[in-house]
Amino acid sequence: MTHEALESIFVQRHQLAEYLVESIRESAITPAKHYTLPIGPRGIGKTHLVSLIYHRVRRREDLRERLLIAWLREEEWGLPHTSTYY
């Protein structure tokens, strides 16, 4: 989903999103490191929130040279088959 679409349907957790983006910024530019693990029942909006934060962080000029973001699939259950080992 596009950043604009994610922003347009995002509700009720604006303060949390801002806090998480700021936490990532602080971790990237200072020695203080922060880790967050969103938990909750299926369908509560965890993936939406993480996607929104990903787009917000990616657009920040001050973080471009300091972060390398790895996007992992939400429900990846196996390793991709690339070759056979003997």
Q: What is the pLDDT of residues 6-60, one digit of tens each?
A: 888 888 889 999 999 999 999 999 999 999 999 999 989 898 899 999 999 999 9
- What is the structure's pLDDT at 2? 83
What pTM was estimated for this model as a whole? 0.76
- Find out whether 21 and 53 touch, Cβ atoms under 8 Å: yes
Q: What angle do CA 67, 73, 74 make, to 5 degrees?
A: 115
- What is the structure's pLDDT at 11? 81
pLDDT above 60 for 85: no
Cα dihedral 65, 2, 23, 71 sign: negative
The length of the chain is 86
Place of tokens 């936490």: 23
- What is the structure's pLDDT at 84? 60
- What is the structure's pLDDT at 83? 62
Distance CA 79, CA 72 (A): 12
